[in-house]
Amino acid sequence: MSDSFKPGQNVKCTIVKVPMTEDDKQTVLRLMRKDPSIQRRLRRSQMMRRRNMVVYNRGNRDWYKRQEVGKIAVVRSGSTWTFTYSIELGREMQTVGKFLKVEAA
């Protein structure tokens, strides 16, 4: 599957079947986070969490109340994303290839 793509080429992936194991779900999420639009949303949410972080004093020491991270990339059947292919991602794409439909974008 990954032999047909060249580094720097845009690849479109679609989840055909949701992985059962947590390891496979994490691998798919890692691939989803390569999408530029998802990266942009993650950076913005991190910036907003840092900007709105609540700092309070407890025992003459600053404590931070951190918000939970929003789940922007979700492993769901039918989810589609596009990213730039690199050689390092080929192995990950092969391990979860049975769950994905991969095509050139």
Pull the structure tokens for residue 76.
């769901």
Question: What average pLDDT does the segment 19-29 reach?
Answer: 96
What pLDDT was estimated at residue 4? 85
**pLDDT for 3 beyond 90:** no
Per the structure, the complete domain to which residue 54 belongs is given by: 2-104
- CA angle 99/80/69 to nearest 5° reads 95
**How far is CA 76 from each of CA 14, 31, 100, rounded to the nearest angstrom?**
10, 14, 11
Question: What average pLDDT does the segment 22-33 reach?
Answer: 97
Q: What is the pTM of this model?
A: 0.85
User: How many other CB atoms are found less than 10 A from the CB of residue 26?
Assistant: 13
Q: Is the CA virtual torsion 64, 68, 49, 31 positive or negative?
A: positive
**pLDDT for 52 beyond 80:** yes
**pLDDT for 12 beyond 80:** yes
Number of domains within the chain: 1
Pull the structure tokens for residue 39.
């990266």
Mean pLDDT estimate for the chain: 94
